[in-house]
């Protein structure tokens, strides 16, 4: 999807910032200025020679060092969330992927992509998909807010396919109503599907992963884990809780269960073009970029196939939202209000 018109004036600035933070660009440029200036001057237009000053050299040195530190920090972060183990140990011949809510939307796309790659897939949902699916996608009618239904279906899955090694907590709902307008039943259901179900799923399938010290748990959160605008309060609360669930689970796997090879991944997508929010993005005042669902499902599948833990924020480049609460209050309020005025002030999705 093309960028928002509001973002176009900032594209050159972002490109410059990206270049300056890349050591593979600043390093060779700095080397050429310091050790082979005659060659550099012969390449550059004469009009640019005046900009090669001691101040530019100092700036390039700073950006080069900062860029290297960023690269090292990112590498250390990836190793840390994988408990300093680089071997993912993913073997698609032995893996069984279980996805909740895989009869439609992102879940269905993931199921089909995993199936295309030769993996066995189990779908826990309230109803089957409305299309013909490959034979290696297996549907079980399950209300994931019911621990009894999960346990019953789990017994059937183990008997027919074995133990799931990948569990993707994908099922989710949202109503897009204000705190006072949303019915109590919908608030309860939103928390039950978006949060409580995660506990029931993990309590059912995590023990086997711990025993084998192998597996992967994927939690689908949201950009609203970091920012809660008007009319999405209960949804944002559940996604913030999903982030806490992921972080706490990761900690328990290492510190309590001694299962460092059980991987955990959290996904924070922005608005996705799915039926869940169709009422929103067809609203005339809508001006926020939309992610295509294939982009989100593809990123999750790729992460699982890598056999490594991860933190996925989509669209790429939106990671700065993680630091929103470190910004001044006026900036935080402006960001939340901008989102609030995007959402139509009427009945839900």
Per the structure, the complete domain to which residue 299 belongs is given by: 96-342
348/343 Cα distance (integer angstroms): 10
CA-closest candidate to residue 167, choices 157, 181, 178: 157
Q: Examine residue 86 and state whether it is found in any structural domain, yes or no.
A: no
Catalytic residue, chosen from 41, 50, 140, 235, is 235
CA-closest candidate to residue 209, choices 255, 258, 172, 248: 258
- Residues 59, 194 share a domain: no
Q: Examine residue 297 and state whether it is found in any structural domain, yes or no.
A: yes
- Residues 51, 124 share a domain: no
Mark residue 118 as left, alpha or beta (left: phi above 0; alpha: psi -120 to 50; beta: remaining). Answer: left
Cis before 315 (ω within 30):
yes
- Residues 157, 9 share a domain: no
Q: Examine residue 347 and state whether it is found in any structural domain, yes or no.
A: no
- Residues 160, 24 share a domain: no
| pLDDT of res. 10 | 41
- Residues 262, 205 share a domain: yes
> Which of 33, 58, 81 is the endpoint of a domain?
81
3-state secondary structure the chain: CCCCHHHHHHHHHHHHHHHHCCHHHHHHHHHHHHHCHHHHHHHCCHHHHHHCCHHHHHHHHHHHHHHHHHHHHHHHHHHHHCCCCCCCCCCCCCCEEEEECCCCHHHHHHHHHHHHCCCEEEEEECCCCCCCCCCCEEEEECCCCCHHHHHHHHHHHHHHCCCCCEEEECCCCCCCCCCCCCCHHHHHHHHHHHHHHHHHHHHHHHHHHHHHCCEEEEEECCHHHCCCCCCCHHHHHHHHHHHHHHHHHHHHHHHCCCCCCEEEEEEEECCECCHHHHHHHCCCCCCCCCECHHHHHHHHHHHHHHCCCEEEEECCCCHHHHHHHHCCHHHHHHHHHHHHHHCCCCCCC
> Which of 81, 112, 127 is the endpoint of a domain?
81
| pLDDT of res. 87 | 62
Alpha carbon 49 to its chain centroid, in Å, reads: 44
- Residues 116, 28 share a domain: no
Q: Examine residue 87 and state whether it is found in any structural domain, yes or no.
A: no
| pLDDT of res. 198 | 98
- Residues 175, 40 share a domain: no
> Which residue is associated with the tokens 């200036």?
37
Global pTM value? 0.81
268/318 Cα distance (integer angstroms): 10
Q: Examine residue 123 and state whether it is found in any structural domain, yes or no.
A: yes
- Residues 250, 158 share a domain: yes
CATH number of residue 272's parent domain:
3.40.50.720
Per-residue pLDDT of the chain in tens (349 residues, 90 and over written 9): 334 433 434 445 556 666 667 888 888 888 888 888 888 888 888 887 888 888 888 888 888 888 888 788 777 777 777 877 766 678 888 999 999 999 999 999 999 999 999 999 999 999 999 999 999 999 999 999 999 999 999 999 999 999 999 999 999 999 889 999 999 999 999 999 999 999 999 999 999 999 999 999 999 999 999 988 888 899 999 999 999 999 999 999 999 999 999 999 999 998 888 777 776 766 666 667 789 999 999 999 999 999 999 999 998 877 778 888 888 888 888 888 877 776 766 544 4
Tell me whether residue 316 is one of the annotated catalytic residues.
no
- Span 28-44, pLDDT tens digits: 888 888 888 888 888 88
- Span 192-222, pLDDT tens digits: 999 999 999 999 999 999 999 999 999 999 9
- Residues 319, 197 share a domain: yes
- Residues 319, 213 share a domain: yes
Tell me whether residue 239 is one of the annotated catalytic residues.
yes
> Which of 20, 48, 81 is the endpoint of a domain?
81
Catalytic residue, chosen from 112, 239, 258, 308, is 239
3-state secondary structure 243-254: HHHHHHHHHHHH
Q: Examine residue 329 and state whether it is found in any structural domain, yes or no.
A: yes
* Six-digit token string for 86: 């680089």
- Residues 254, 188 share a domain: yes
Residues 6+ apart with CB under 8 A from 271: 223, 277, 280, 281, 288, 289, 290, 291
Q: Examine residue 183 and state whether it is found in any structural domain, yes or no.
A: yes
- The number of folded domains in the chain is 2
Q: Examine residue 321 and state whether it is found in any structural domain, yes or no.
A: yes
CA-closest candidate to residue 206, choices 169, 156, 244: 169
- Residues 133, 55 share a domain: no
């Amino acid at each position: 999807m093309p960028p928002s018109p509001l973002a176009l004036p900032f594209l050159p600035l972002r490109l410059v910032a990206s270049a300056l933070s890349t050591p593979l660009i600043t390093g060779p440029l700095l080397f050429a200025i310091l050790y082979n200036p005659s060659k550099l001057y012969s390449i550059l237009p004469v009009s640019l020679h005046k900009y090669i000053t001691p101040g530019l050299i100092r700036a390039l040195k700073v950006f080069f060092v900062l860029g290297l530190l960023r690269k090292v920090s990112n590498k250390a972060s990836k190793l840390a969330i994988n408990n300093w183990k680089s071997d993912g140990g993913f073997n698609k011949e032995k893996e069984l992927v279980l996805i909740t809510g895989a009869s439609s939307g992102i879940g269905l796309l993931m199921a089909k992509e995993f199936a295309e790659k030769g993996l066995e897939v189990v779908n826990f949902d309230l109803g089957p998909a409305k299309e013909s699916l490959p034979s290696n996608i297996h549907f079980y009618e399950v209300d994931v807010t019911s621990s009894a239904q999960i346990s019953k279906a789990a017994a059937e899955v183990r008997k027919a396919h074995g133990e799931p090694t990948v569990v993707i907590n994908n099922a989710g709902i949202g109503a897009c109503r204000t705190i006072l307008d949303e019915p109590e039943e919908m608030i309860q259901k939103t928390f039950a599907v978006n949060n409580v179900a995660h506990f029931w799923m993990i309590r059912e399938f995590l023990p086997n992963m711990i025993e084998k010290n192998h597996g992967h748990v994927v939690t689908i959160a949201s950009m609203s884990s970091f920012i809660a605008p008007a009319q999405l309060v209960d949804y944002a609360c559940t996604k913030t809780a999903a982030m806490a669930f992921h972080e706490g689970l990761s900690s328990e796997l290492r510190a309590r269960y001694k299962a460092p090879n059980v991987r955990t991944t959290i996904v924070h997508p922005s608005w996705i073009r799915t039926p869940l929010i169709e009422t929103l993005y067809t609203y005339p005042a809508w001006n926020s970029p939309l992610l295509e669902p294939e982009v989100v499902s593809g990123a999750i599948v790729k992460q699982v196939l890598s056999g490594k833990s991860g933190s996925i924020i989509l669209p790429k480049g939106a990671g700065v939202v993680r630091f929103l609460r470190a910004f001044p209050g006026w900036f935080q309020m402006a960001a939340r209000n901008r989102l609030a005025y995007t959402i139509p002030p009427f009945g839900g999705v």
